[in-house]
Structure 1
Amino acid sequence: MAKSSKPAAKKPAAKGAPTRSASNKIAKTQIIDIVADKTSLNKKQAGEAVAAVLSSVVAALQGGQSVGLPGLGTLSVTQTAARTGVRPGTNQKITIPAGKKIRFKVASTLKGTL
């Protein structure tokens, strides 16, 4: 039996779920809207709360601390060693200096539901 050429119907978004625009990225304003909808805060208060959380996370990372976000994962700062790289186009060998980068480890509960 041949399959129908009719495209599959899209499932409606769950109530309270973030709506997706053309890209798969959620903007800060969308996060503020979601927080305002799920709490008794107005948009201004929700914006201040989101900004406070984000600035706290940034300050902790700048201080070298790890940040655990239950159900989401852990952000931490790791050292990178100096290494030799190749400049694209010219194939010239360059030295990439040691530095720091942010590492994210996904929580096992989230990883299991993806």
Structure 2
Amino acid sequence: MFPLIELSGSAFERGQQHGVAAKSRVQRSIATYSRLFAYCGISWVDAQRKGSAYREVIGDFAPELLMEIEGIAQGSGRHLNEILALNARTELLPPSYPGGCAPRPKQGHGSQRRG
């Protein structure tokens, strides 16, 4: 189901190789999670902003992991905050997920009361 990607080098180089090899999978993950966040009322821009807050936390906990994430961003041609949002997705989704998120009702389609 998932391809085996052989990597070597520094943490950044491994991430970069991973980003190049899995570029289409990264793109698909971004599209998928963008829709999921939207379903839960979080725009992709907001998810990236919130995900960026985890950069320092990840770097303090595991500096090599942050370097790999930075390499994945560069190798896949995506912004670092997008990759951070993907990695922090569980922390960013509301506590009510799964099952508690619902699309917001559209305004002006039968939602007005007549008096």
TM-score (ref. length: structure 2): 0.24
Higher helix share: 2
Q: Which has the higher contact order (CA 8 A, sep 6+)?
A: 2
TM-score (ref. length: structure 1): 0.24
Structure index of larger Rg = 1
Higher strand share: 1
